[in-house]
Structure 1
Amino acid sequence: MSSTTTTKFNESFYQLHATDNKGEEFEFERLRGKVTIIVNVASKCGLTSQYDDLQKIYDEFQPKGLEILGFPCNQFAGQEPGDSQEIATFCTLRKVTFPIMKKVNVNGKEASPVYVYLKSQASGFITNAIKWNFTKFLIDRHGNVVERYSPDKNPMAFVDRIKELLDENVEPSTL
Protein backbone atom coordinates (compact mmCIF):
# COMPACT_ATOMS: atom_id res chain seq x y z
CA MET A 1 0.00 0.00 0.00
CA SER A 2 1.46 3.36 -0.95
CA SER A 3 1.55 6.24 1.46
CA THR A 4 -0.94 8.11 -0.73
CA THR A 5 -3.53 5.34 -0.49
CA THR A 6 -5.96 5.50 2.37
CA THR A 7 -7.93 2.40 3.20
CA LYS A 8 -11.12 2.88 5.15
CA PHE A 9 -11.50 1.03 8.39
CA ASN A 10 -14.25 -1.55 8.62
CA GLU A 11 -16.27 0.15 11.33
CA SER A 12 -18.56 -2.88 11.71
CA PHE A 13 -15.65 -4.95 13.03
CA TYR A 14 -14.64 -2.25 15.51
CA GLN A 15 -18.19 -2.06 16.88
CA LEU A 16 -18.04 -5.68 18.02
CA HIS A 17 -17.31 -6.62 21.61
CA ALA A 18 -17.01 -9.74 23.72
CA THR A 19 -16.65 -10.64 27.35
CA ASP A 20 -13.27 -11.92 28.46
CA ASN A 21 -12.86 -14.92 30.75
CA LYS A 22 -12.63 -12.58 33.76
CA GLY A 23 -16.08 -11.15 32.98
CA GLU A 24 -14.74 -7.83 31.62
CA GLU A 25 -15.97 -6.24 28.41
CA PHE A 26 -13.48 -6.39 25.54
CA GLU A 27 -14.26 -3.69 22.97
CA PHE A 28 -12.93 -4.48 19.50
CA GLU A 29 -12.13 -0.80 19.10
CA ARG A 30 -8.95 -1.80 21.00
CA LEU A 31 -7.95 -3.79 17.90
CA ARG A 32 -7.95 -0.78 15.57
CA GLY A 33 -4.71 -0.73 13.61
CA LYS A 34 -3.74 -4.26 14.65
CA VAL A 35 -3.62 -7.52 12.72
CA THR A 36 -5.85 -9.95 14.59
CA ILE A 37 -6.38 -13.70 14.72
CA ILE A 38 -9.65 -14.90 16.19
CA VAL A 39 -9.83 -18.62 16.95
CA ASN A 40 -12.31 -20.89 18.70
CA VAL A 41 -10.29 -22.98 21.14
CA ALA A 42 -10.78 -26.10 23.24
CA SER A 43 -8.62 -27.72 25.90
CA LYS A 44 -9.52 -31.35 25.20
CA CYS A 45 -9.26 -31.44 21.42
CA GLY A 46 -6.81 -33.29 19.21
CA LEU A 47 -5.82 -29.85 17.88
CA THR A 48 -5.17 -28.32 21.33
CA SER A 49 -1.44 -28.30 20.56
CA GLN A 50 -2.20 -25.33 18.28
CA TYR A 51 -2.35 -23.25 21.47
CA ASP A 52 1.45 -23.63 21.60
CA ASP A 53 1.96 -22.42 18.04
CA LEU A 54 -0.48 -19.55 18.50
CA GLN A 55 1.50 -18.51 21.57
CA LYS A 56 4.80 -18.65 19.64
CA ILE A 57 3.29 -16.41 16.96
CA TYR A 58 1.90 -14.08 19.61
CA ASP A 59 5.26 -13.83 21.39
CA GLU A 60 7.03 -12.95 18.16
CA PHE A 61 4.52 -10.62 16.53
CA GLN A 62 2.49 -9.02 19.33
CA PRO A 63 5.12 -6.26 19.72
CA LYS A 64 4.73 -5.55 15.97
CA GLY A 65 0.94 -5.13 16.16
CA LEU A 66 -0.58 -8.63 16.25
CA GLU A 67 -3.39 -9.59 18.59
CA ILE A 68 -4.87 -13.05 19.10
CA LEU A 69 -8.24 -13.66 20.74
CA GLY A 70 -9.17 -17.16 21.84
CA PHE A 71 -12.85 -18.00 22.18
CA PRO A 72 -13.40 -21.26 24.09
CA CYS A 73 -16.24 -23.30 22.62
CA ASN A 74 -17.85 -26.53 23.79
CA GLN A 75 -19.99 -27.18 20.69
CA PHE A 76 -17.73 -29.87 19.22
CA ALA A 77 -17.82 -33.20 21.04
CA GLY A 78 -17.81 -31.44 24.44
CA GLN A 79 -14.11 -30.66 24.10
CA GLU A 80 -14.23 -27.50 26.26
CA PRO A 81 -16.28 -28.55 29.28
CA GLY A 82 -14.61 -26.27 31.84
CA ASP A 83 -15.88 -23.06 33.35
CA SER A 84 -14.01 -19.75 33.03
CA GLN A 85 -11.73 -20.53 36.00
CA GLU A 86 -10.82 -24.00 34.70
CA ILE A 87 -10.11 -22.59 31.25
CA ALA A 88 -7.95 -19.84 32.77
CA THR A 89 -6.01 -22.42 34.80
CA PHE A 90 -5.48 -24.55 31.68
CA CYS A 91 -4.19 -21.51 29.77
CA THR A 92 -1.88 -20.51 32.63
CA LEU A 93 -0.40 -24.00 32.78
CA ARG A 94 0.13 -23.89 28.99
CA LYS A 95 1.71 -20.42 29.32
CA VAL A 96 -0.92 -18.84 27.07
CA THR A 97 -0.75 -15.05 27.41
CA PHE A 98 -3.00 -13.87 24.58
CA PRO A 99 -6.52 -12.82 25.64
CA ILE A 100 -9.04 -15.60 26.22
CA MET A 101 -12.70 -14.69 26.06
CA LYS A 102 -15.69 -16.16 27.84
CA LYS A 103 -16.87 -19.49 26.43
CA VAL A 104 -19.23 -18.98 23.48
CA ASN A 105 -21.22 -20.83 20.87
CA VAL A 106 -19.96 -20.31 17.34
CA ASN A 107 -22.93 -21.88 15.54
CA GLY A 108 -26.69 -21.93 15.97
CA LYS A 109 -29.24 -19.56 17.44
CA GLU A 110 -27.02 -18.83 20.44
CA ALA A 111 -23.91 -18.05 18.35
CA SER A 112 -21.77 -15.17 19.54
CA PRO A 113 -22.33 -12.01 17.47
CA VAL A 114 -18.57 -12.04 16.83
CA TYR A 115 -18.88 -15.39 15.07
CA VAL A 116 -22.05 -14.42 13.25
CA TYR A 117 -20.09 -11.48 11.87
CA LEU A 118 -16.91 -13.43 11.05
CA LYS A 119 -18.84 -16.14 9.21
CA SER A 120 -20.69 -13.48 7.20
CA GLN A 121 -17.34 -12.04 6.08
CA ALA A 122 -15.46 -15.25 5.23
CA SER A 123 -17.41 -18.20 3.95
CA GLY A 124 -16.55 -21.75 4.81
CA PHE A 125 -16.32 -24.85 2.67
CA ILE A 126 -19.82 -25.96 1.61
CA THR A 127 -21.50 -24.02 4.47
CA ASN A 128 -20.51 -21.04 6.58
CA ALA A 129 -20.82 -23.00 9.82
CA ILE A 130 -17.71 -23.46 11.92
CA LYS A 131 -16.84 -27.12 11.42
CA TRP A 132 -14.60 -27.76 14.45
CA ASN A 133 -12.38 -26.24 17.11
CA PHE A 134 -9.43 -24.11 16.01
CA THR A 135 -11.05 -22.46 13.00
CA LYS A 136 -8.99 -19.30 12.58
CA PHE A 137 -9.93 -15.91 11.12
CA LEU A 138 -7.21 -13.46 10.10
CA ILE A 139 -8.18 -9.79 10.17
CA ASP A 140 -6.06 -7.00 8.71
CA ARG A 141 -5.12 -3.69 10.36
CA HIS A 142 -8.29 -2.14 8.92
CA GLY A 143 -10.71 -4.62 10.45
CA ASN A 144 -11.28 -6.63 7.27
CA VAL A 145 -11.50 -10.41 7.49
CA VAL A 146 -8.92 -11.47 4.90
CA GLU A 147 -8.62 -15.22 5.50
CA ARG A 148 -10.47 -18.07 7.15
CA TYR A 149 -8.38 -21.12 7.98
CA SER A 150 -9.71 -24.60 8.63
CA PRO A 151 -9.07 -26.28 11.98
CA ASP A 152 -6.37 -28.53 10.56
CA LYS A 153 -4.39 -25.59 9.13
CA ASN A 154 -1.63 -25.05 11.65
CA PRO A 155 -1.13 -21.35 12.40
CA MET A 156 2.59 -21.67 11.65
CA ALA A 157 1.60 -22.37 8.03
CA PHE A 158 0.33 -18.81 7.57
CA VAL A 159 3.03 -16.85 9.38
CA ASP A 160 4.16 -15.32 6.07
CA ARG A 161 0.64 -13.96 5.52
CA ILE A 162 0.67 -12.49 9.04
CA LYS A 163 4.02 -10.80 8.27
CA GLU A 164 2.61 -9.34 5.03
CA LEU A 165 -0.33 -7.84 6.89
CA LEU A 166 1.89 -6.50 9.66
CA ASP A 167 4.11 -4.84 7.05
CA GLU A 168 1.18 -2.90 5.57
CA ASN A 169 1.25 0.70 6.68
CA VAL A 170 -1.63 2.23 8.52
CA GLU A 171 -1.98 5.93 8.07
CA PRO A 172 -1.94 7.59 11.53
CA SER A 173 -4.74 9.89 10.43
CA THR A 174 -7.00 6.88 9.79
CA LEU A 175 -6.57 5.50 13.29
Structure 2
Amino acid sequence: MHAKYAEKGLSILGFPSNQFGRQEPGTNTQIKEFAKSYNAHFDMFSKIDVNGQTAHPLWKWMKQQPNGRGFLGK
Protein backbone atom coordinates (compact mmCIF):
# COMPACT_ATOMS: atom_id res chain seq x y z
CA MET A 1 0.00 0.00 0.00
CA HIS A 2 2.83 2.39 0.87
CA ALA A 3 4.59 1.81 -2.45
CA LYS A 4 1.34 2.30 -4.37
CA TYR A 5 0.03 5.44 -2.68
CA ALA A 6 3.02 7.27 -1.11
CA GLU A 7 3.34 9.58 -4.12
CA LYS A 8 -0.31 10.54 -3.64
CA GLY A 9 0.37 11.59 -0.05
CA LEU A 10 -0.37 8.47 1.98
CA SER A 11 1.90 8.04 4.99
CA ILE A 12 1.98 4.76 6.86
CA LEU A 13 3.29 4.83 10.39
CA GLY A 14 4.28 1.53 12.00
CA PHE A 15 3.93 1.19 15.76
CA PRO A 16 4.79 -2.41 16.68
CA SER A 17 3.20 -3.90 19.77
CA ASN A 18 3.53 -7.30 21.34
CA GLN A 19 -0.03 -7.07 22.68
CA PHE A 20 -1.70 -8.50 19.55
CA GLY A 21 -1.09 -12.22 19.89
CA ARG A 22 2.59 -11.71 20.80
CA GLN A 23 3.68 -11.28 17.19
CA GLU A 24 6.32 -8.60 18.00
CA PRO A 25 8.49 -10.21 20.70
CA GLY A 26 11.79 -8.80 19.45
CA THR A 27 13.65 -5.60 20.20
CA ASN A 28 13.01 -2.42 18.23
CA THR A 29 16.10 -3.14 16.14
CA GLN A 30 15.01 -6.71 15.40
CA ILE A 31 11.52 -5.57 14.42
CA LYS A 32 12.87 -2.90 12.05
CA GLU A 33 15.23 -5.42 10.42
CA PHE A 34 12.37 -7.89 10.00
CA ALA A 35 10.25 -5.21 8.31
CA LYS A 36 13.13 -4.31 6.00
CA SER A 37 13.43 -7.97 4.98
CA TYR A 38 9.90 -7.61 3.53
CA ASN A 39 10.90 -4.40 1.70
CA ALA A 40 8.84 -2.21 4.06
CA HIS A 41 9.75 1.42 3.46
CA PHE A 42 7.29 3.18 5.76
CA ASP A 43 8.19 4.90 9.02
CA MET A 44 8.64 2.40 11.84
CA PHE A 45 8.58 3.68 15.41
CA SER A 46 9.49 2.06 18.72
CA LYS A 47 7.37 -0.70 20.16
CA ILE A 48 4.43 0.53 22.24
CA ASP A 49 1.70 -0.81 24.50
CA VAL A 50 -1.87 -0.40 23.29
CA ASN A 51 -3.66 -1.83 26.33
CA GLY A 52 -3.51 -1.27 30.06
CA GLN A 53 -2.00 1.44 32.23
CA THR A 54 1.08 1.83 30.02
CA ALA A 55 -0.88 2.19 26.76
CA HIS A 56 0.45 4.88 24.42
CA PRO A 57 -1.54 8.16 24.68
CA LEU A 58 -2.58 7.94 21.01
CA TRP A 59 -4.19 4.53 21.58
CA LYS A 60 -5.88 5.75 24.75
CA TRP A 61 -7.34 8.65 22.76
CA MET A 62 -8.48 6.45 19.87
CA LYS A 63 -10.23 4.07 22.24
CA GLN A 64 -12.13 6.97 23.85
CA GLN A 65 -13.63 8.21 20.58
CA PRO A 66 -17.38 7.70 20.10
CA ASN A 67 -18.81 5.61 17.26
CA GLY A 68 -18.32 7.19 13.88
CA ARG A 69 -14.94 8.69 14.76
CA GLY A 70 -12.86 5.59 14.01
CA PHE A 71 -13.00 1.84 14.08
CA LEU A 72 -11.67 1.68 17.66
CA GLY A 73 -14.42 3.90 19.07
CA LYS A 74 -16.79 2.90 21.84
Return the TM-score normalized by structure 1. Answer: 0.38
Residue 50 of structure 2 is aligned to residue 103 of structure 1: no
AA aligned opposite 1:73: S
AA aligned opposite 2:34: F
Aligned-pair RMSD on alpha carbons? 2.0
**Which structure is richer in relative contact order (CA contacts within 8 A, separation 6 or more)?**
1
Residue 60 of structure 2 is aligned to residue 116 of structure 1: yes
Structure 1: which 5+ residue stretches go unaligned? Answer: 1-56, 124-144, 150-175
Separation in 2, partners of 1:61, 1:146: 23
Deviation at 1:59, TM superposition (A): 1.1
AA aligned opposite 1:119: K
Residue 59 of structure 2 is aligned to residue 59 of structure 1: no
Return the TM-score normalized by structure 2. Answer: 0.82
| Aligned mate of 1:74, from 1, 5, 18 | 18
Separation in 1, partners of 2:66, 2:32: 29
AA aligned opposite 1:148: F
The structure with the largest strand share of the pair is 1
